[in-house]
Each structure stands twice: as C-alpha cells, then as structure tokens.
Amino acid sequence: MWRHAKGNNVVFLAVFLELVRVVALVAIKDGDRFMAVTEHDEHAFAYGPFLGLERSDDLVQIQVFWAPGKAVEAKLAMYRRIVERLGADPGVRPEDVLISVVETAAENWSFGHGETQFYKLPDREGAPV
C-alpha cells in the first residue's frame, strides 16, 4: 500500500508501478503483485517530525505486507533501493519516504476460494484437512 498527499498522482503512480521491480530484492514470487495506491487530502493526511526527520507535504508512506521469513539484509536493501529510486525520479527527499513492513503468518492469507494457499493444516488422524 502506498499513501501520499493528493496532487502528484500521475508521477507517483508511474514511479510506484516501477517499484514493482524492487521487490525482487526480497524474492517475491512472480505474479504476487497486489498493490493499492491511496491519496489523501490535507485534512486526512497527518505527519510530523519524528526521530529527527523533518517531513514535507511530499511524504510518501509505503506499507508492505508479506509472510515472515525474508532476510533482514534483503529488507534493508529494499528500503535503500526504494529511497534511491524515489529520489532519482520524481525527486522525493529521503526523509519523505516512510516504509514499513508488516509480516503476517501464512495462515492469515487467502488469495481466493477461502483457502490458505501458503498454509496447510497438519494431517491429524480423524481431523478434517
């Protein structure tokens, strides 16, 4: 999910779609590209200085959801690459890129049919599978 203030949607959307290639750094499977872009008016988008970072109205928040198991080094490389890419074009300042990763267990994902494609129940004698 990608959140930013309204106004730069064409540029940001193009860059966002380009960032799909960045997820290769964390070994995301082909086709696993579910994304949402949301824009917020000034009254619905709040931020402030935090950890010594002075934000601007160009703040971009990127939230990544995936199952646990990605290497820390891969995550760090992804953060750096996203900041580099957004800095190069469209020129987002590094302090205006906020990235968070939310890891949820495999049993918390259903990609369709009400099934957990990444999680299978243990086969217990007499128990439904």
**Below-70 pLDDT ranges, the chain:** 1-25, 125-129
Report the C-alpha gap between 58 and 46 in whole angstroms: 12
Q: Which residues contact 70 (CB under 8 A, 6 or more apart)?
A: 26, 27, 101, 103
Domains belonging to the chain, first-starting first, are 2-108 (3.30.429.10)
Apex CA 118: angle with CA 30 and CA 70, to 5°?
65
pLDDT of residue 10: 61
d(CA 16, CA 86): 9
Which secondary-structure segment (H or E) carries 39? strand 37-40
